[in-house]
A and B are shown apart, each in its own frame.
Chain A
C-alpha cells in the first residue's frame, strides 16, 4: 500500500465518523444509570448485591454500635468514627453510631461486608462535593437520609454507533 493511499484511508475512516451520533454524556443534565440501589450485602447468601459503591446509608433501627465497620476501616482509610447519638434505640445500648468522613473514604465497601446486622448499605449517590472539609463529614443523622437520584442514561448501541440514550 502506498503512502498516499494509506493517508487517504486514515482520513476517510475519520470522516465517516462525522455522521455518527455523539457518544459523550452531558453530565449534569444527563446521568448514567446504575444497576440496583447501590452495593448491599445479602444476608441469605453471604455475598454482596451488585450496585454502585457510593455514599453510605445507615439504618438506625438495625445498628447496634458494635464498631465492626470502624474496625474494618482501620487498615483501609480510617474514615469511620463512632459518635454518640442523642436518640435511644433498644438494640443500641451504648448509643454510638458510625460517622463517615468522605474526605478519607475510598469507597471500597468493606464496612458493608463487615456489618453483621446489615445496617450499613451503599447508595447510588456519588455527588458529595463540599466547600469545606467539615461538609464532607456525614453524621449518623445525615447518613439516615435516602438520597434522591435521577439517573436514567444508558449506553445504547445501534448501527450508527453507540450513544448514551
Chain B
C-alpha cells in the first residue's frame, strides 16, 4: 500500500550545501524580529528579514482616541526617542486644529528632540558595541546616557516616554536654572563621547570587523528609499532639519555629517558625529531661546478640526525621516493616522547587504541599519 502525504506535509530533501537558519525572533542578535538566513558554510547566500512580531496596532488605536489622549500611546514605538516619534503627529495636529505655537515652546521642543536623539543613539551604540563583543562600549554609552536622561527627567518629569509634546506647545515650562545645568551636562557629555574615538572608532579590531562589510552604494541607498544615517553614510547629503526645516531649525545652524564609504563602519560613525552636532544645536537653542514667555496655547478640552482635510508632516528622528499622515473629519478623533517610519524603510536594504557576507558579520551589519523592530511594526 502506498500513500502520499498532503503537499504541505511532504518531506523536503535537505540540500547538502545550503542550510536555513532562523535568527530570532527571540534572539539577542536580532531583537523582536526574525532573519531567515540561507548559509553555505560560513557565508550568507540569501537572507529574508521577517518583521511583524511586535505589531501593536498603533494606527488603528489612534482612530478611537482624541488628539490629546493619542499622545501617550503614539510615543510607545520607540521609548528612547519618544519626543521625535511624537513630533510629526503633533505638528500635523497643530496644522489641522489651526494653532500657532509660541516661540519659546518651539525652542523647548528642539532641545527636547535633540536630547532624545542623543539618548536614542547612545542606546543604539551600546547595543552595537555588545553585538561586536566590545563590552566597554556597552557600559560607557549606557552610563553616559544617564546625563541626558537626567536632563529629560528634570524637563519633563519622566525618564522615558515623556508625553511632553502636545498640540499647542509643550506640557510644562523648563524648571528654574535648567539652562545652566543643561549646558554643563551637555558639554561634559560631548567631552565624553569624544573619548569613544580611541576606544571604539579608531580601534583597529573594530575597523577590521566593520570596514568593507555590508556596502550600500549611493545609487542603492537612494533606490531602496533608505533614510537617516544609512543614507548619509552612503554619501547622500540629506537631513530634514536642513532640507525641510520644521519649528525653529531654520534659525539654527545645522551641519550634516556625510560619509562616502557606505559600509558598516560608516553607518556606525555617522550617528556618533550626529550626537556632536546635536550638542551644538542644543547650545545654540539655549542661547537663542526667549528667556520668558508662554509655552502652551490653551486648547478646549476636546478640540475639533474644521472638516475633511489631511496633512502630512515629517521630521528627522534618530533613525531618519519619520512621517505622520493624519486625516480628520470634523470629529474629536482623527479619521486616520498613518506613520511612515524610517526603520521599515532601512530594513529593505538588508538582504542586499548580507549577500556574500560571513555569518559573523550579520549582527553588526543588521544593527548598523539603525533598525528598531517595534517602530517598524507599529
Please indicate whether A and B come from the same complex rather than being unrelated chains. Answer: yes
On A, residues with C-beta under 8 Å from B are: 1-3, 6-7, 9-10, 12-14, 23-24, 32, 34-36, 38-39, 45-53, 68, 72, 74-77, 106-110, 113-114, 122, 155, 157, 162
Q: Count of A-B contacts with CB under 8 A? A: 114
Given known contacts A13-B198, A13-B199, A50-B154, A108 and B72 CB-to-CB distance under 8 angstroms:
yes
**Contact present for B171 and A113 (CB under 8 Å):** yes
**Selected A-B contacts with CB under 8 Å, 22 pairs:** A6-B202, A6-B203, A9-B202, A14-B199, A35-B175, A36-B175, A39-B157, A39-B172, A45-B173, A46-B296, A47-B296, A48-B173, A50-B175, A53-B157, A74-B69, A75-B66, A75-B70, A106-B161, A110-B69, A110-B72, A113-B171, A157-B188
**Contact present for A110 and B68 (CB under 8 Å):** yes
Given known contacts A24-B143, A46-B296, A162-B188, A109 and B157 CB-to-CB distance under 8 angstroms:
yes
A49 cross-chain contacts in B, Cβ below 8 A:
172-173
CA A35 to CA B177, docked complex, whole Å: 10
**Contact present for B72 and A76 (CB under 8 Å):** yes
Which of B69, B157, B294, B298 is the one whose CB lies under 8 Å from A52? B157
**Contact present for A76 and B184 (CB under 8 Å):** no
Beyond the given A50-B157, A52-B153, A110-B163, please list 15 additional residue pairs across the A-B interface where CB-CB is below 8 A: A1-B202, A3-B204, A10-B202, A13-B195, A13-B198, A34-B154, A45-B294, A47-B172, A49-B173, A50-B155, A50-B175, A53-B158, A68-B301, A109-B157, A110-B68
Contacting residues of chain B (148-180) with chain A, CB-CB under 8 angstroms: 150, 153-158, 161, 163, 169-176, 178
B154 cross-chain contacts in A, Cβ below 8 A:
34-35, 50
B170 cross-chain contacts in A, Cβ below 8 A:
47
B254 cross-chain contacts in A, Cβ below 8 A:
none
**Contact present for B69 and A7 (CB under 8 Å):** no
B199 cross-chain contacts in A, Cβ below 8 A:
10, 13-14
**Contact present for B173 and A47 (CB under 8 Å):** yes
B295 interface residue (CB < 8 Å to A): yes
B198 cross-chain contacts in A, Cβ below 8 A:
9-10, 12-13
Given known contacts A50-B157, A106-B161, A110-B163, A155 and B185 CB-to-CB distance under 8 angstroms:
yes
B71 interface residue (CB < 8 Å to A): yes
B195 cross-chain contacts in A, Cβ below 8 A:
13
Chain B nearest Cβ from A124, distance in angstroms:
10
On B, residues with C-beta under 8 Å from A are: 64-66, 68-73, 136, 143, 146-147, 150, 153-158, 161, 163, 169-176, 178, 184-185, 188, 195, 198-200, 202-205, 207, 294-296, 298, 301
Chain B nearest Cβ from A54, distance in angstroms:
8
CA A81 to CA B181, docked complex, whole Å: 39
CA A76 to CA B153, docked complex, whole Å: 21
B163 cross-chain contacts in A, Cβ below 8 A:
108-110
**Contact present for A76 and B69 (CB under 8 Å):** yes
Chain A nearest Cβ from B145, distance in angstroms:
11
Chain A nearest Cβ from B289, distance in angstroms:
15
Given known contacts A46-B296, A53-B157, A53-B158, A7 and B65 CB-to-CB distance under 8 angstroms:
no
Which of A34, A36, A47, A72 is the one whose CB lies under 8 Å from B294? A47
A77 cross-chain contacts in B, Cβ below 8 A:
72
CA A162 to CA B264, docked complex, whole Å: 32
A122 cross-chain contacts in B, Cβ below 8 A:
157
**Contact present for B150 and A32 (CB under 8 Å):** yes
Minimum-distance CB pairs A-B, first 3: A48-B172, A75-B69, A75-B65
CA A2 to CA B205, docked complex, whole Å: 11
CA A9 to CA B198, docked complex, whole Å: 6
**Contact present for B155 and A162 (CB under 8 Å):** no
B298 cross-chain contacts in A, Cβ below 8 A:
46
CA A114 to CA B72, docked complex, whole Å: 15
**Contact present for A50 and B172 (CB under 8 Å):** yes
B195 nearest in chain A by CB position: A13
B207 nearest in chain A by CB position: A6
**Contact present for A107 and B73 (CB under 8 Å):** no
